[in-house]
Structures are given as structure tokens and as C-alpha cells.
Amino acid sequence: MSLFGLFKSKAQKQAEMDIANARFKLQNVDSGIKVSGAEDLLAQAEYAFENKNWKDASILANKCVVSIQFAEKLSYSKPWGYNIGDWVGK
């Protein structure tokens, strides 16, 4: 562990882990799933981290992960290949 690592706060370490997790999830998402909103959330999390706003960075990174999970769930739950919008109003 570096000397700098000794001075990191718990919140900073948590934010780093949350952002790393969000990056990993984003890199491993199925290419057919649109996750542009999740990409935006990750960019905001990274910006918050750069500005030493650890709490917001963690929150945004976790929202990114939830957004990816939601997009995956929606894409896998399309009945017989139809879009959700095909069922609205029928």
C-alpha cells in the first residue's frame, strides 16, 4: 500500500470501489443493450470524484449499476421479441 493510500478516507475508498464496479459492469454489458444513460451517470460520478465529492460519486456510480441492471432486465423480458411499446395502448 502506498503512503497516499494510508490517508484516503473511507468515503473516498468506497467511491473508488463503486466507480470501478460501474466501469466493469458497463464494459461487460451485452452490446445489443442501450446504456447511454448509464454512461452519462458514470461520467457524472467520475466528475464528482475528481472534485472530491465522494458521497455523490458513490451515489452516481451505484445509480449507473442499477441503470444497467434495469436495461438488461428490460431487454431480456421482451415477450417473443416485441418491444414494450408495441403493447401500450392495445
Is residue 3 in a domain? Answer: no
Task: Tell me whether residue 15 is in a domain.
Answer: yes
Amino acid at 60: L
Domain limits for position 66: 9-87
> Domain for residue 37, yes or no?
yes
Residue 36 within a domain: yes
* Domain count across the chain: 1
- pTM summary value: 0.76
Q: Which three cell numbers stand for residue 8?
A: 484516503
Residue 23 lies in a domain: yes
2 is a domain residue: no
Query: d(Cα 61, Cα 19) in Å, to the nearest integer?
Result: 5
Cell of 19: 466507480
- Residue 42 domain-assigned (yes or no): yes
pLDDT tens for each residue of the chain, 90 residues long: 555 566 788 999 999 999 999 999 999 988 778 888 999 999 999 999 999 999 999 999 999 999 999 988 887 765 555 555 555 554
